[in-house]
A and B are shown apart, each in its own frame.
Chain A
Amino acid sequence: MNIGETLLRLARESGFAQFLAAGGWKNLIMIAVACVLLFLGIKKKFEPLLLVGIAFGCLLTNIPGSGLYHQELWDAYVAGEDITFTHIIHHGGLLDILYIGVKSGLYPSLIFLGVGAMTDFGPLIARPKTFLLGAAAQLGVFVAFFGGCALGFTGPQAASIGIIGGADGPTAIFLTSKLAPELLGPIAIAAYSYMALIPLIQPPIMRALTTKKEREIKMEQAREVSKTEKIIFPIVTAAFVILILPSTAPLVGCLMLGNLFRECGVTERLSDTVQNALMNIVTVFLGISVGATTVAERFLSLETIKIVVLGLVAFAISTVGGLLVGKLMCKLSGGKINPLIGSAGVSAVPMAARVSQVEGQKANPSNFLLMHAMGPNVAGVIGSAIAAGFLLAVFG
């Protein structure tokens, strides 16, 4: 055994040597990006449960020679070549196998199951007119979609970028994995980063579009919702929404099943499991496998910058849409509705509702808008699922 040759071969095959190969510098940049994302997740607490996983997936996939994720396998799969999930299990790396859960739409749907079990739709049932705010706050989705088309993205890519405006991570991942998997990394990172930045993005828009008098409005207590109504709600909603748009079935079906587990009163163990154990397990898999898609060759491009900008536009316009309809409802109700709850229609449960509460309380310290804002907030979740279903029906 020639020790010198062996050491030389080891050095040539190491990841360090591959940094010096063609395009290796891009991996270095992506590792730096991963470290920045880890900093944001750990230190700044930007959606840490997902961002830490995404950042670490980004780090792992960009270490040269790690072989955990193979972009070329997935490109072949998307191109319709003779590649199946079985082939990927046999020939792929660990992150390729985990990514099957994203590609098949499994993880986002299971996350929705947990979200449904965590969500109290009571405020929405008590005041169903707040469905309108949830619908209005999807404006950014379609404006960003149009913007994406104008900036040269294909229809499916623009649709995937637009859904960032729905402020709903699992929905964005679900739609993008179906329509434009090549953009999954930047879209997921943009969606979760902006969701974490909602307390910074929304307040200036809220203050610009509402008067102090409007922000001071104290809303009446909503009626009490019976147990029966809470049980009927997920059944009726799942049936109606899926009948209107069958492509929403995985997301809306899981969301409402989770909610039924919560409300029916006889499946407490299941509700507890989907809210905690299952949700945590899926979050780990989802985060790391989405992070794995941030391959340097794809991520470091002008497209990523466009996506980041369009994502911000989508969030801002969605907030504007919710607020404008909130103002309209305020006028029509004779000042009984505080328009600030409109901005909560962007989903991002419960962050957006908390922002409405904070802004309302700044204007009037005795104002408690949180429960009122939860109505449009959860309506936004259903609204973004419908928007995603529509885009999937058009481009899928």
Chain B
Amino acid sequence: MFAHYSLGDAALTAVLGYAVVFFGLVLLLAVIYVMGKIMVKSVKKVEAVHEAHTEKPALPAPGSAGQLKLHDVDERDAAMVMAIVAHKLGKPLNELRFRSIREVKDDEV
């Protein structure tokens, strides 16, 4: 059946074959391009939502009030001090108001 494949037919098949390869890969290109655009857009959207959440100032916990000033005390130590005070007083932390916490040096005692 294929023994006498004329050069004209061969040329036509070659051109058609090359065109089919291009067609297939261009179609894939388009699909992957659109998929990429959608993915990049959705990632940006998620990032925007995330940023919007992180940019908002944190709302104070219910019942807490004002700003606490720390003098030579890091946040972790301040949190421990407040928790100990609340425990000793037998009151929940959000009912107490701390204005400032300052480290007392040995020579100040």
Chain B, interface residues (CB within 8 Å), range: 20 to 34
B36 to A145, Cβ gap below 8 A?
no
A386 to B22, CA, bound (A): 9
Interface-side segment among A58-66, A68-76, A127-135: A127-135
Is A394 interfacial (CB 8 A cutoff)?
Answer: yes
Q: Which residues of B contact A149 (CB under 8 A)?
A: 5, 7, 10
B29 to A131, Cβ gap below 8 A?
yes
Q: Which residues of A contact B32 (CB under 8 A)?
A: 124-125, 128, 131, 233, 236-237
Nearest residue (CB) in B for A138 is B21
Chain A, interface residues (CB within 8 Å), range: 35 or more
Mark each residue of chain A from 125 to 155: 1 if its CB lies under 8 Å from any CB of chain B, else 0: 1101101101110110111011001100011
A390 to B7, Cβ gap below 8 A?
no
Q: Which residues of B contact A382 (CB under 8 A)?
A: 24-25, 28
List CB contacts (< 8 Å) of B33-74 with chain A. 33, 35-36, 39-40, 43
List CB contacts (< 8 Å) of A130-184 with chain B. 131-132, 134-136, 138-139, 141-143, 145-146, 149-150, 154-156, 158
User: If A131-B26, A150-B7 touch, does A386 touch B20 (CB 8 Å cutoff)?
Assistant: yes
Q: Which of A129, A132, A154, A240 contacts B5 (CB 8 A)?
A: A154
A131 to B10, Cβ gap below 8 A?
no
Is A25 interfacial (CB 8 A cutoff)?
Answer: no
Is A229 interfacial (CB 8 A cutoff)?
Answer: yes
B31 to A158, Cβ gap below 8 A?
no
Q: Which residues of B contact A124 (CB under 8 A)?
A: 32
User: If A142-B14, A150-B7, A154-B2 touch, does A228 touch B39 (CB 8 Å cutoff)?
Assistant: yes
A394 to B20, CA, bound (A): 12
Q: Which residues of A contact B29 (CB under 8 A)?
A: 128-129, 131-132
User: If A156-B2, A229-B36 touch, does A143 touch B14 (CB 8 Å cutoff)?
Assistant: yes
A240 to B27, Cβ gap below 8 A?
yes
Is A278 interfacial (CB 8 A cutoff)?
Answer: no
Interface contact tally, CB-CB below 8 A: 114
Chain A proximity of B46: nearest CB distance (Å): 10
Chain B proximity of A288: nearest CB distance (Å): 30
A228 to B23, CA, bound (A): 26
User: If A128-B29, A233-B32, A240-B28 touch, does A245 touch B20 (CB 8 Å cutoff)?
Assistant: yes
Counting chain A CB atoms within 10 Å of each CB, the highest count among B2, B39, B43 belongs to B2
- Interface residues of B, dominant DSSP: helix
List CB contacts (< 8 Å) of A336-392 with chain B. 379, 382-383, 386-387, 390-391
B18 to A142, Cβ gap below 8 A?
yes
Is A16 interfacial (CB 8 A cutoff)?
Answer: no
Nearest residue (CB) in A for B27 is A240
Q: Which residues of B contact A132 (CB under 8 A)?
A: 22, 25-26, 29
Is B94 interfacial (CB 8 A cutoff)?
Answer: no
Is B100 interfacial (CB 8 A cutoff)?
Answer: no
B2 to A395, Cβ gap below 8 A?
yes
Is B92 interfacial (CB 8 A cutoff)?
Answer: no
Chain B proximity of A315: nearest CB distance (Å): 16
Chain A proximity of B32: nearest CB distance (Å): 4
Q: Which of B5, B21, B22 contacts A158 (CB 8 A)?
A: B5
**9 A-B contacts (beta carbon < 8 Å):** A132-B29, A136-B22, A142-B13, A142-B17, A146-B10, A155-B2, A236-B35, A244-B23, A387-B21
Apart from A128-B29, A154-B5, what are 4 other A-B pairs with CB-CB below 8 Å? A142-B18, A149-B7, A233-B32, A386-B20
B: which residues have CB within 8 A of A?
A: 2-3, 5, 7, 9-11, 13-18, 20-29, 31-33, 35-36, 39-40, 43
A: which residues have CB within 8 A of B?
A: 124-126, 128-129, 131-132, 134-136, 138-139, 141-143, 145-146, 149-150, 154-156, 158, 223, 225-226, 228-229, 232-233, 236-237, 240-241, 244-245, 379, 382-383, 386-387, 390-391, 394-395
